[in-house]
Structure 1
Amino acid sequence: MNRIKRSILSTCRGYICLCLLPALVACGGGEIEEAQDEALSDDEVMGREMVVADTWDEGMFFEKFAASNKYGSWDLNDDEFLDEEEFTSSFYQTWDLDGDGRISKSEWDTVVANYGVEEADWTAWDTDGDGYLEMAEFEADFAQIGWHSAWDLDKDSMITEREWTAGVYQLWDTDGDNQLDRTEYIHYNKYYGQ
């Protein structure tokens, strides 16, 4: 009789183990994926998060941007605000994709499309006709886009990091659904993800 009980008990244990095996494998798979994420760069992980999330709301966009510390590098006087000069400079630095201190016609074509500045005319901005925008040329026409005053929600002539990200978020939310989907969010890494 004891032998039969042991046999039944052994069979039950085997069956229970067999039933639990898929669950254990599933749990172990999560740990493996998490370990793989640690080996990926931030940009790669962020891209994977985007696949999972599919959309980003304004709060998620702000958190990602704040973690980049781009805003802090533009705030030259460390007062946690961008005055109009710092604001303009932030875009000049951002739009100078190769970081050579000037914006080429090729860079211009890319950024005006990515930021929805359809009414901007290269020849009007490149006043000396040398094929590049220097900071002085950029400043003269950038103010006419009107983003500084439009994004300054509290009308104190200063742009907070939250106002700045809200402005860019609204530019890229082309369908106006208050979510950035993958096609709208695609520009983030090019301009702010490094």
Structure 2
Amino acid sequence: MVGKLAVIAGLMFGFGYGLVPMYRHICAALGINVLSLTERQATSYNAGSAGRTGKANTQVDTSRTITIEFDANARGPWEFKPAMRSLQVHPGELATVMYDFKNVQNRVMAAQAIPSYAPKQATAYFNKLECFCFNEYTLQPGESKAWPVVFVIDPKLPKDVTTITLSYTFFEVPGKSSAAAAAAAVTVKEPRS
């Protein structure tokens, strides 16, 4: 009985060990490219003096350059601005820009940003992967934040669009600021046991 169990355990180990090469061959045969991040990094960089190797991102349209202009509008007494006013990108290229915000009021506030695009037809081609506009934020008096916007311009953007303006309007969320301030006051006033 012990011998049979040892054979079964050995077969299970061998099958588990063989799954990785089998998976790679199946993916290669079907044309599926789902390498893990560490495998992608290992194949993207050459340890020798030649530097970076591997395949280039074929979805980047290097024949075109789009100018992205950044604008910030604040509806309230706070500071809100992009770290840079414009950036040139190729369609399909991943880009990041930071926005700086400071609550200059002497009270807690809840706020959110709403994006808008010009020209309007560019909206469908401006793909944000990460953006502070996805969430509401509660900021303490004098608190500063730096938030990223990570985006890609779709290569299918019409050829006549060469400049896109991304504008954010940052506004206070009605009713939420007083609730956030009350919650902060309760937290501060709780007696210690």
> What TM-score does the superposition give when structure 1 sets the normalisation length?
0.27
Structure with the bigger RCO (C-alpha within 8 Å, sep 6+) is 1
